[in-house]
Amino acid sequence: MSCIIIALDAFASDALEAFDHQRSLYKALADTHRIVVLSLHPKREEVRWFLRREHYRYDMILNRTEESVLDDVAWKVAEVRAVKAMGWPVDYYLDVDPAAIRGVFADGTASLLLVHRLARPQWLPDKREQRSWSELIDFVEEQTVRQAAAPDDGPPKPWEQAVVP
């Protein structure tokens, strides 16, 4: 049976309070995989207590101790390598840290970045004033004219089509 490595940051806050919106993802993955939990929280018993309280099943907990000389990202990448070295096939690594995702993915492990759409400032709507309807119509017509004036490059490429045949 293969495993999934989950960084506890993706399912709990620093104070070990659960994120409810992640529970359905956990349930979907836990039914078919072993679960390895990586925790930056230094107290292992508190992590165990949190997982039991929230009814999260796990097969292994790896927590970063205060004696660790690695930074958070390097520690996470090293622990994923250690799990793979133990012979456990790793299907996915889930985390909220893009740097850790990048490091684990660079080692050849499929990685999922869990980020709420409102957590990234560039995804938030800007604060400019609303445009009038006539201004929007003018903008759409201008784009249509530009597209009609563009030279025809032949048949559309598969990645340019709305639906891939």
pLDDT at 165 over 50: no
For residue 140, being part of any structural domain is answered with: no
The predicted-structure confidence for 58-103, as pLDDT tens digits, reads as follows 899 998 888 888 888 999 999 999 999 999 999 999 988 889 999 9
Alpha-carbon distance of 77 to 95, in angstroms, equals 11
What's the pLDDT at 137? 86
Residue 128 located in a structural domain: no
Angle between helices 98-106 and 72-85 (to 10 degrees): 40
Give Cα 73 distance to the centre of its chain. 14
**Average per-residue pLDDT for the chain:** 81
Q: Which carries the bigger pLDDT value, residue 116 or residue 70?
A: 70
Give the domain CATH number at 56: 3.40.50.1000
- Evaluate whether 60 touches 44 at the Cβ level (below 8 Å): no
Q: Which has more confidence, 5 or 1?
A: 5
Q: Note whether residue 109 is domain-resident.
A: yes
Q: Which residues pair with 158 in a beta bridge?
A: none
Domain count, the chain: 1
Q: Which domain holds residue 87?
A: 3-113
